[in-house]
Amino acid sequence: MDRKYILPCAGYDRPGGHISRAAAEELMKLRDDIIVGSIGALYKERPGEMREFRTSDIICLDGCGTQCASELVQARGRSDACVFSIPEVVGTIESFEEKVKQVVDKISENLEITEEKAAPKTVTAEFATIDYLNEKIDKFTLRVAKFHKYSDNDFWVRIEGPLVRIGVSDLLQQMMSDVYFVELAEQGTHVEMFDDAGVMESTKILVEVIVPVSGTIVNVNKSLEDSPELINESPYERGWLYLIKPDDITELELLKDAPDYLKSAIQKANEEIGKKVI
């Protein structure tokens, strides 16, 4: 589950400020994934505040036309915030308690819709439709999943709604041979494109996990802790590594599509075969 960083209005002497803070505190009681931010701490860029700010989904509660919360969030480099205007949400409601409830209900409804859209598909539905390009190169039987993107480091990316799933290509798992240990980064970690984020150890080699896209890790394949062999047995399916919320989906344009990657994989396979002959 993604963490939600809610930044209430700083207008302590204004109705909108009181309502936004009360609503944020109520949401924190209702959900265990809520973090209530501080405009003062964010303004001063305190390390703890900035860590939560960078690794969470952002919700701004603007209490008035000054829009202090959303303006500061923009200034700190986040343009993906969900912004709620307190005056617009509460309208003509007069009771303070009813105003707070209206804001809480509106944000909760938005979160439910967002989570439903972001929910990954079931394993059965998700993997049943994968088609492959196939090529036989001596000892290598290469499978390249169609409609995926591939890095030069032999990791794949598959778009799944607002998220991307990444994993090891069939070529890489064959070149590694039997994988017996996998150590992955934690959920919530922010990674940059081509950062190393974990290791895989096989009977032949230690390989770093090179993530092919920038973003925040929202799910980790915990099955690999007890069953690292899934990378060999099912590299495009049960052996996946991470689900990531990308910072910029256009980064995928820098990667290879399936036909281009197949050409690269054939070349690498032939080079590997040549090493064995020598």
More confident residue, 208 or 109: 208
Burial code of 128-150, b = ≥16 C-beta within 10 A, e = fewer?
eeeeeeebebeebebbbbeebbb
Interval 50-107: pLDDT, tens: 888 888 889 999 988 888 899 999 998 888 889 999 999 998 998 999 999 999 999 9
**In whole angstroms, what is the distance from residue 176 CA to residue 88 CA?**
57
**In whole angstroms, what is the distance from residue 83 CA to residue 58 CA?**
8
State both tokens at 54. 């960078």
On average, the pLDDT of the chain sits at 88
Residue 45: partners with Cβ closer than 8 Å, 6 or more residues away: 76
This prediction has a pTM of 0.56
Interval 100-150: pLDDT, tens: 999 999 998 888 766 655 554 444 344 546 889 999 888 778 999 999 999
* Per-residue confidence (pLDDT) for residue 36, from 0 to 100: 92
Question: Side chain identity at 256, as an amino acid letter?
Answer: K
**In whole angstroms, what is the distance from residue 150 CA to residue 167 CA?**
10
Contact of 272 with 175, CB cutoff 8 Å: yes
**In whole angstroms, what is the distance from residue 182 CA to residue 196 CA?**
13
Report the alpha-carbon angle 192-127-151, nearest 5.
30
What are the distances in angstroms from CA 268 to CA 131, 176, 263?
A: 22, 13, 9
State both tokens at 102. 């209206």
> Could you give all domains of the chain from N- to C-terminal order, each with its CATH number?
4-117 (3.40.50), 123-277 (2.40.50.100)
Question: Side chain identity at 87, as an amino acid letter?
Answer: P
Report DSSP state, residue 213.
S
